[in-house]
Amino acid sequence: MSEEHQDAVPEVDASDAAADAVAVTDDPTKAFSFSPEREKKYEEIVRRYPTRLSAIMPMLWLCQDEWGWLKPGVPEWVAARLEVPISRVYEIISFYTMYYTENPGTYNLQVCRNISCHMAGSGKITKHLCKKLGVGLNETDSEGRFRVEEVECLGACGMGPMMQVGKDFYEHLTEEKVDELIEQWRRDG
Amino acid sequence: MAYSVHGPKAVSGGAGARLRRGEAFYLVEIVRGMAITMRHLLYNMFHSSTMPTLEYPDERPEHGPWLRGRHRLMKREDGSPRCVACQMCATICPADCISILAQDDDRPDVEKSPESFEINLLRCVYCGMCVEACPCDAIRMDTGIFELAADSREAFIVDREFLLNNTTDGVNR
Amino acid sequence: MNEMLTELGYTLGKIGFMLAVILGLLPAMIWAERKGAAYMQDRIGPNRASIGGIFRMGGLVHPIADVLKLVFKEDIVPAGVNRFFYHLAPFLVMVIALTTFAVIPFGDALYLGDKVIKLQVADLNVGVLYILAMTSLSVYGIVLAGWASNNKYSFLGGIRATSQMISYELNMGLAVMSLILATGTVRMDEMVQFQGHLLFGFLPAWGVVVQPLGFILFLVALFAETNRNPFDLPEGESELVSGYHTEYSSLKFALFFMAEYANMIVGAAIVSTLFFGGWQVPWLSTDLLRAHAGPLLTGSAIGATVLSFVFTAATWRHYERFRGRLGDRRELEPLILGILFFALGLATLGYVVFQKPWTIDSAMAAHFATVAQIGSFLLKTVFFAWLFIWVRWTLPRFRYDQLMRLGWTTMLPLALLNFFVTAGVVLLVNS
Amino acid sequence: MAKIIVDGKEHECEEGQNLFQAIKAAKGRPLPHFCYHPALPVAGVCRMCQVEIEGVPRPVIACNAQVKDGMEVRTETDRIADVVQQILNFHLLHHPVDCPVCDQAGECALQDQYMNYGLYEASVDVEDKIHKDKVKPIGELVMLDAERCVLCARCTRFTSEITKTHEMGIFNRGNHAEIDVAPGRTLDNNYSLNTVDLCPVGALTSRDFRFKRRVWWLENTPSVCAGCATGCNMTIDHSEGTVYRCRPRPNVEVNSYWMCDEGRLLYHRLHDEDRLRTPVVAAEEGPRTVDWDEAYARVQSLLTADGGETRRVAVIASAHATVEELHALGRFADGIGAAKIGYRLEGSEMGEADDLLVSADRTPNAEGARRLGWSQFLGEELRAQASSDTVLLVLKNDFAAFDENGVDLLSAYAGVVVLGTHQDATMDLADVGLPVLSYAESDGLFVNEKGRAQELHASIAGPESARHAVVVLAELGRLLGKEFGWEDPAALRRDLVATEAGWGALATGIDRTGVLLDVVSDGAAIGAESGSEGGGE
Whether residue A102 is contained in a domain is answered as no
Mean pLDDT of chain C: 83
Contact C394 B27 (CB under 8 A): no
- Are A7 and A91 found together in one domain? yes
- Residues in CB range of D450: below 8 A, 6 or more apart: D254, D367, D516
First to last CA, chain D: 26
First to last CA, chain C: 48
**Which residue, of A27, A60, A95, is where some domain finishes?**
A95
Whether residue C288 is contained in a domain is answered as no
pLDDT category at B20 given cuts 50, 70, 90 is low
**Which residue, of C302, C329, C360, is where some domain finishes?**
C360
D186 touching chain A per CB within 8 A: no
B48, pLDDT greater than 80: no
Total domains in the fold of chain A: 2
Q: For residue range B119-150, list pLDDT tens digits in order.
A: 999 999 999 999 999 998 999 988 888 888 88
B98, pLDDT greater than 70: yes
Whether residue A101 is contained in a domain is answered as no
A23, pLDDT greater than 80: no
Q: Are C369 and C289 in contact (CB under 8 A)?
A: yes
Chain B: residue whose CA lies nearest to D104 = B86
D536, pLDDT greater than 60: no
ipTM of the complex: 0.69
Contact D182 A1 (CB under 8 A): no
Q: For residue range C41-60, list pLDDT tens digits in order.
A: 888 888 888 888 778 877 88
A18, pLDDT greater than 50: no
Chain B: residue whose CA lies nearest to C400 = B5
Specify the CATH number of the domain B72-164.
3.30.70.3270
D173 touching chain A per CB within 8 A: yes
Structural domain range at position A12: 3-95
Cα angle: B155, vertex B159, B163; to 5 degrees = 105
Per-residue model confidence (pLDDT) at position B167: 61
pLDDT category at D231 given cuts 50, 70, 90 is very high
Residue pairs between chains B and C whose CB atoms are closer than 8 Å:
44
Mean pLDDT of chain B: 80
**Which residue, of A68, A95, A122, is where some domain finishes?**
A95
From residue D352, alpha-carbon distances to C285, D262, D355 in Å are: 124, 13, 10
Selection from C20, C26, C24 nearest residue C255 by Cα: C26
Nearest to A5 among D156, D166, D183 (CB): D183
Q: For residue range C65-77, list pLDDT tens digits in order.
A: 888 888 888 888 8
Distant-in-sequence contacts of A73-78, Cβ < 8 A, 24+ apart: A73/A9, A73/A11, A73/A12, A73/A16, A73/A17, A73/A31, A73/A32, A74/A32, A75/D183, A76/A9, A76/A12, A76/A28, A76/A31, A76/D184, A77/A28, A77/A29, A77/A31, A77/A32
Whether residue C286 is contained in a domain is answered as no
Whether residue C25 is contained in a domain is answered as yes
Whether residue A174 is contained in a domain is answered as yes
pLDDT category at D259 given cuts 50, 70, 90 is very high
d(CA D536, CA D484): 33
Give the HSE-up count for residue B49: Cα atoms under 13 Å, Cβ half-sphere.
6
Residue pairs between chains B and D whose CB atoms are closer than 8 Å:
30
d(CA A41, CA A35): 10
- Are A53 and A116 found together in one domain? no
Q: For residue range C318-368, list pLDDT tens digits in order.
A: 888 877 777 777 788 888 888 998 998 888 888 888 877 777 777 777 778
**Which residue, of A39, A60, A95, is where some domain finishes?**
A95
Chains that touch B (3 or more CB pairs under 8 A): C, D
- Are C161 and C243 found together in one domain? yes
Q: For residue range C181-226, list pLDDT tens digits in order.
A: 888 888 887 788 778 777 777 778 787 778 888 888 888 888 888 8
Per-residue model confidence (pLDDT) at position D520: 64
Per-residue model confidence (pLDDT) at position A9: 39
D218, pLDDT greater than 90: yes
Q: Are D110 and D152 in contact (CB under 8 A)?
A: no
Nearest to D100 among B88, B103, B104 (CB): B88
Contact D185 A87 (CB under 8 A): yes
Selection from D301, D318, D319, D322 nearest residue D310 by Cα: D301
- Are C163 and C302 found together in one domain? no
d(CA D199, CA D150): 9
Which string of DSSP letters, residue by residue, matches D152-211? Answer: --HHHHIIIIIS----EEEES-GGG-EEEEPTT----STTTHHHHHH-SSSSEEETTTTT
D39 touching chain A per CB within 8 A: no
Collapsing DSSP to helix, strand or coil, D294 comes out as helix
Total domains in the fold of chain C: 2
Per-residue model confidence (pLDDT) at position B17: 58
**Which residue, of C360, C387, C406, is where some domain finishes?**
C360
Partners of C216 on chain B (C-beta within 8 Å) are 27
Percent of chain D residues past pLDDT 90, beyond the cut? 61
- Are C123 and C249 found together in one domain? yes
Assign residue A163 the CATH number of its domain: 3.40.30.10
- Are C381 and C321 found together in one domain? no
Average pLDDT score over residue span A113-121? 90
Cα angle: C121, vertex C126, C130; to 5 degrees = 70
Whether residue C342 is contained in a domain is answered as yes
Per-residue model confidence (pLDDT) at position B21: 65
- Are A86 and A117 found together in one domain? no
- Are C110 and C218 found together in one domain? yes
Contact D133 A87 (CB under 8 A): no
Structural domain range at position C350: 293-360
Selection from D83, D69, D56 nearest residue D19 by Cα: D69
Whether residue C424 is contained in a domain is answered as yes
Provide the residue type at C166 as one letter. Answer: I
- Are A124 and A155 found together in one domain? yes
* Strand partners for B88: none
Q: For residue range A95-112, list pLDDT tens digits in order.
A: 998 898 888 888 889 999
Whether residue A167 is contained in a domain is answered as yes
- Are C119 and C149 found together in one domain? yes
**Phi, psi torsion values for D52, nearest 5 degrees:** -95, 130
Whether residue A100 is contained in a domain is answered as no
- Are A77 and A27 found together in one domain? yes
- Are C128 and C220 found together in one domain? yes
Chain D: residue whose CA lies nearest to B113 = D101
Whether residue C327 is contained in a domain is answered as yes
DSSP B85: -
Contact C39 B44 (CB under 8 A): yes
Per-residue model confidence (pLDDT) at position B3: 39
Percent of chain C residues past pLDDT 90, beyond the cut? 1
Distance from CA of A154 to the nearest CA of D (A): 20
Contact C44 B51 (CB under 8 A): yes
Indicate the pairing of strand D60-61 with strand D50-53. antiparallel
Distant-in-sequence contacts of D14-18, Cβ < 8 A, 24+ apart: D14/D67, D15/D67, D15/D68, D15/D69, D16/D66, D16/D67, D17/D66, D17/D67, D18/D42, D18/D63, D18/D65, D18/D66, D18/D67
A2 touching chain D per CB within 8 A: yes
First to last CA, chain A: 32
Distance from CA of C390 to the nearest CA of B (A): 7
Contact B11 C391 (CB under 8 A): no
- Are A119 and A49 found together in one domain? no
Provide the residue type at C398 as one letter. Answer: F
pLDDT category at D406 given cuts 50, 70, 90 is low
D172 touching chain A per CB within 8 A: yes
Question: Which of B74, B111, B113 best probes binding to D when mutated, by most D CB atoms within 10 angstroms?
Answer: B111
Selection from C277, C269, C250 nearest residue C134 by Cα: C269
Find out whether the peptide bond into C230 is cis, omega within 30 degrees of 0: yes
pLDDT category at D267 given cuts 50, 70, 90 is very high
d(CA D184, CA A10): 8
Contact B27 C216 (CB under 8 A): yes
Per-residue model confidence (pLDDT) at position A2: 41
- Are A128 and A83 found together in one domain? no
d(CA D452, CA C6): 113
pLDDT category at C98 given cuts 50, 70, 90 is confident
Per-residue model confidence (pLDDT) at position B18: 65
Selection from D259, D134, B60, A43 nearest residue C327 by Cα: B60
- Are A19 and A90 found together in one domain? yes
Partners of D159 on chain A (C-beta within 8 Å) are 87
**Which residue, of C360, C378, C396, is where some domain finishes?**
C360
D470, pLDDT greater than 50: yes
Give the HSE-up count for residue C25: Cα atoms under 13 Å, Cβ half-sphere.
26
Selection from C325, C148, C115 nearest residue C248 by Cα: C148
Collapsing DSSP to helix, strand or coil, A141 comes out as coil
Whether residue C287 is contained in a domain is answered as no
Per-residue model confidence (pLDDT) at position A6: 42
pLDDT category at A25 given cuts 50, 70, 90 is low
d(CA C286, CA C108): 7
- Residues in CB range of C355: below 8 A, 6 or more apart: none
Collapsing DSSP to helix, strand or coil, D18 comes out as strand
